[in-house]
Structure formats: structure tokens, C-alpha cells
Amino acid sequence: MKKEGTLTFAIVILIVTSIAGIAYAHWTGQVEVKVTAYIGCFTIRFINPLECSDNEATKNIGLSNCYYTEPDPIEGYKKLVIQISNAYPDYTVDCNFTIKNIGTTISTITNISIRDPDEKLRWKWITQYTEGFLWQDLNENDAYDPGEEIIYITITDLVNVSLNPGQIRKAEITTKILANAEECHSYGFEVSIEYES
């Protein structure tokens, strides 16, 4: 009984809509449907200022450099590059960068992941999304053991940070070479900052 009522109601709506449509068509002579789908733009990019410093007070042994690459046609850059050379245990490089929401909708940072592109080192968080280290499986037991830490990284807690259009946020990433890093070696890492609207 209920089903029949619903069906009847649907048919009535359909008929009424059809009649209205036909009436409108007859009245205007033509039916024009215009659909505009405006999709908001959400984009976070690195912008200046960008500053790099190290922990050397009296000597200039280790060298550090940081710069942005992959410019966005609208504003800012997609990638920050940190280069460290002649590094040694305890050498620390501090990089202050700036991000900006250059889009038109609110963007939220959802995840930060760190890895070694060469897969020689593995990542372990000490405090989720802010502090951890890259380690090398020196004894090849496929598990982290104390004494295998190579590079210690801290980064400003950005996860769940929402940026309004045009909003700017300063952040910091610190890289410290640890005692187990081997001389004459080259180590790499990549920090991905994921965001969505």
C-alpha cells in the first residue's frame, strides 16, 4: 500500500514536471540549459624567505646550501633542496622555509613522510610528524637496532594545519648528522608534505 502511494507520488511529480517543462518550452520557444561548474583551486607552494644556517661558530668546515626549484607559474615553488657537503658527525643544518596557500580554497596538510630515494636508509619517527631519524640496517637483520642512526631530522608540526587562501606559514627543518654516518659517503632524503582541500 505504502509502495503504491510512493509510486503514485513519483508519477505525479514526473507528470507535473513534464507539463511544466512542456509549458515552458511552448512559452519561450526554446529550452536552454546552461551549466557552469566552477572548481576551486587549492595549491600550497614554497615561497621566500628561505634561510639556511649551520651550527659552526668558529670554523667553516661543513658547507650547506638551500634553494627552491620547480617554480609554479602562479607563485612560489614546488620543491626545496638542501645540500650539505663535507659533513661530519654533529654537523647540523637548520633551514627556515615559508609555505603559502596560493589557491582559492582552504588547504589542509594531511601527512608528512620521509624516505631515502636510494632506499639505502630507512625512516623511523620518534615523535610522529615532527622528529625522527634515517637509519641504515648495518647488521642486515631487517630491523632497527640502536647505533644504526645516520641522520636526525626535526620538522615543524604541519600535519592538520589548514591554510586559508593567501595565508602564509613559516616552518623549519633541522638536519643533524649522527655519529654512525660514514666518512666519504653520500646520503639522501626526501620529505613529502601532502595536502588536500
User: Cell digits for 52?
Assistant: 639556511
Binding segment for another protein (CB under 8 A), chosen from 84-92, 122-130, 140-148, 160-168, is 84-92
Torsions phi, psi for 154 (to 5 deg): -120, 145
How far is the C-alpha of 133 from the C-alpha of 146, rounded, in Å?
Answer: 12
Torsions phi, psi for 144 (to 5 deg): -75, 135
User: Cell digits for 93?
Assistant: 643544518
146-175 mask for another protein (x: CB under 8 A)?
-----x---------------------x-x
Beta-carbon contacts of residue 23 (< 8 Å; ≥ 6 apart) = none
Binding segment for another protein (CB under 8 A), chosen from 5-13, 125-133, 139-147, 181-189, is 181-189
Taking a C-beta distance cutoff of 8 angstroms, is the pair 114, 126 a contact?
Answer: no
Q: Is 125 in the site for another protein (CB under 8 A)?
A: no
Q: Is 89 in the site for another protein (CB under 8 A)?
A: yes
Give the footprint of another protein on this chain (CB under 8 A): 21, 33, 35, 37, 39, 42-46, 59, 61-62, 78-90, 97, 99, 110, 117, 151, 173, 175, 177, 179, 181-197
